Amino acid sequence: MARVAATLFVAAMLCRAAYAETITVPPCGSSPAATTGTYSGVVYVTVGGVIVNTPGNPSTDPFYDVNANDPSMEVQPNPGWLRYDRASEGNDLCDGSASSHLVSGIIVGTYPTFTGSNSYSVTLDLGGAPAEALHFGIADCGCGDNSGQYTLAISDTPPTTSTSTTTTTTTSTTSTTFPTCDQLDGHCGGCLGDGICVAHQPDNSLDCVDTSTCQPMSCSSDAECPLSQACFSDGSHTACCASACPCPPSGCPTTTTTTTTTETTTTITAPGTPLADARAAVAYQIDTAHTGYSPIHLRRHPKYRWAFNAGGLITYPLIVHGTVFVTGVVPAKLHALNERTGRDRWAPVQIPGTYTSPQIAYDRGQVFSLDPDGSVAAFDATAGTMSWTTVLTSDGAGLFFAAPTAKYGILFISGAGKVWALAETDGSLLWTAPGGVGDDSSPAVSSDGVYVSYACENVYRYSPFSGTLLWNYHGVNCYGGGGLTPVLYNGRVYARDDVYSNVILDATNGARVGGFEAGPPPAFADGHGFFLRDVTGPLQAEDFMTNSFPWIFVGDNYLGSPPIVVRRNVFIGSQMGMLYAVTAKSGQEVWSTNVSADIGSSQLAVTSLTAGGHTLVVGASTAQCCTSCQCSTTLVAYR
């Protein structure tokens, strides 16, 4: 009976009707608007309107603070204003509520550009959790003096791909001798030879014209003309012609050129969401933008569950659908561990390549491995069988140390002086583009950009589907190897540099908009950034909505790992083996434990934190790890 019920549930999910509806969002987060339909995965939203706040403050459209007297004038972005949650989470969208999520945090692509109409169309990625009704509202719950509303249209059906063709035809007529003239049969009294009589525009003057050349048959006196004709001059030439023009003009033999220009405009919607829910960790620093954010629920004081040691270096682990994927060494193998117990789900499988530290990524039911020598392979995540393998040729330009990133059915790789895009289905090369000299930058990917960062403040943005270079920011006039993984958050690219400055770039045009202090990659959530300054700390929070730094956490003064955010808490590890959890709001320590091994002293993706499903996984090393050093990494799981 259970098998039948499960089958019926799956069938119901597959046959779920498409939804499209419009709701009105009120000016108070404690009474949000609810959808009638249920939604999951990628949805398409158009939202517009203005909500008036406390007198003296700016008004607010869905994504920007605007001038209270003229809403068509932007004041500043407000990414924390528009909120949502799922029906099962309640209906409190007030700022600070555990179930209040930023709509800006699930936008596919960059933060929307301000529009004077205060209306925006965005694509949202709700993840692969079961479809539910949604609530939409604002963060403000001091609502007594608020007024206005937003109109929000939502659909789970993508905009129709459309093609429009405009054809313009231009016809030009050129007379060899006379722009416009008319044949006047019999009115010239008969032209000599093959001539015909024509009249000119605009004065209707007459000429005898040779039909083969359209040249005038000139004369010097009336005596040279037939009876009833005279030798006339139009100021530029003479001809034997009659003195009147009884017919309407039309033209001499002419040369006609027709030019047709066809312009085709095609609107293409981006592919759908990867087949992993929002609780999965699918890439370095959890997601494909490397934000280090996970929405999963953990106990306030997580408990130790299991540990795993493959006998050597372990690279950044992934957590998808109850399985922890990680690579071990000697020889390199892919392990699939039960998230709850740490036991193998299937026997470890060997990974193609000559090194011992292949990196991995997940998308659409497959785990992809990348060896430093350029060997790439795809494995079925359920069975562990290899789907395909290929080798990228580096031409001696370097190796592939950075973790790949997989999204939209494409595997993105940075290394050997290039950026590569492979089809996830068979490993075929979709495109390759020249990049900076370096091999340590894991691509940050959105629907409209692939971002990589190399030495000398050398940052690139490519089109994910064509490989077209969209912009290149090169802050320092030098070149070098290495590179560091960028982070993409709310329309900004956070790019680090070992020698020069860490820069913040506008993701759309590559313009520098600021800088930041951080050793490892920062983490981001709910309009806040969390930066480990230098290589040992402290950990500092930044509130982007108030442009303030609300707290600093020093821990044991040896903090070292990239921070991650798990719902409302920030987790970070130390080189002395301490693991801390502090609140994202205040930085207050709420939990700590001693893992008894170094957490995160390497810049590479070998000893770090990740979270997915219901588990926090910590990579801790018995010695400082690097790609050419001998060390042993243990995974420790807390739930």
Residue-wise DSSP of 382-412: TT--EEEEEE---TTS----SPPEEETTEEE
**Per-residue pLDDT for 184 more than 50?**
no
**Closest alpha carbon to 352 in 331, 324, 326:** 331
Tell me phi and psi for residue 103, to 5 degrees: -65, -35
Q: Indicate whether this model's pTM tops 0.85.
A: no
- Kindly state the average pLDDT of the residues 191-201: 48
Reported confidence tier of residue 254, pLDDT bands at 50, 70, 90: very low
**Per-residue pLDDT for 262 more than 60?**
no
Look at the block and give the residue holding tokens 């719950």: 141
HSE at residue 32, side-chain half, CA atoms within 13 A, is 29
Question: What does the block give as tokens for 477?
Answer: 């006039």
Cβ-Cβ contacts under 8 Å for 78 (sequence gap 6 or more): 60, 63, 64, 65, 545
> What residue ranges of the chain are covered by domains with CATH 2.130.10.10?
293-638
Residues of the chain with pLDDT > 70, as a percent, come to: 74
Cβ-Cβ contacts under 8 Å for 295 (sequence gap 6 or more): 101, 278, 279, 567
CATH entry, 293-638, from 3.30.420.40, 1.10.8.60, 1.10.3300.10, 2.130.10.10: 2.130.10.10
- In angstroms, rounded to a whole number, what is the distance separating the alpha carbons of residues 64 and 112? 9
CA distances from 95 to 141, 286, 294, 541, 549 (A): 8, 24, 18, 17, 18
| pLDDT attached to residue 4 | 35
- In angstroms, rounded to a whole number, what is the distance separating the alpha carbons of residues 148 and 73? 17
Look at the block and give the residue holding tokens 């588990």: 615
Question: What does the block give as tokens for 100?
Answer: 């209040």
Top pLDDT among 196 and 496 is at 496
- Kindly state the average pLDDT of the residues 23-47: 92
Q: Whole-number mean pLDDT of the chain? A: 80
Classify domain 19-159 by CATH number: 2.60.120
Taking only the tens place, the pLDDT of each residue in 68-94 is 889 989 888 888 899 999 999 888 898
CA distances from 617 to 148, 280, 282, 316, 343 (A): 45, 12, 13, 10, 14
| pLDDT attached to residue 330 | 63
CA distances from 167 to 210, 257, 265, 376 (A): 38, 16, 12, 46
**Per-residue pLDDT for 268 more than 60?**
no
| pLDDT attached to residue 200 | 45
Taking only the tens place, the pLDDT of each residue in 53-62 is 877 788 999 9
- In angstroms, rounded to a whole number, what is the distance separating the alpha carbons of residues 635 and 339? 12
Reported confidence tier of residue 404, pLDDT bands at 50, 70, 90: very high
Taking only the tens place, the pLDDT of each residue in 429-482 is 999 998 766 678 999 998 789 999 998 999 999 998 889 999 999 999 887 777
Taken in order 521, 415, 326, 129, the sign of the CA dihedral is positive
Strand order in 528-532's β-sheet? 523-525, 528-532, 539-543, 552-553
Q: Phi-psi category of 384—alpha, beta or left, where left has phi over 0 and alpha has psi -120 to 50?
A: left
Cβ-Cβ contacts under 8 Å for 157 (sequence gap 6 or more): 18, 20, 44
CA distances from 478 to 323, 421, 461, 481, 496 (A): 43, 27, 19, 11, 15
**Per-residue pLDDT for 585 more than 70?**
yes
Number of C-beta neighbours around residue 227 at 10 A: 6
Helix (H) or strand (E) holding 11: helix 2-14
> What residue ranges of the chain are covered by domains with CATH 2.60.120?
19-159
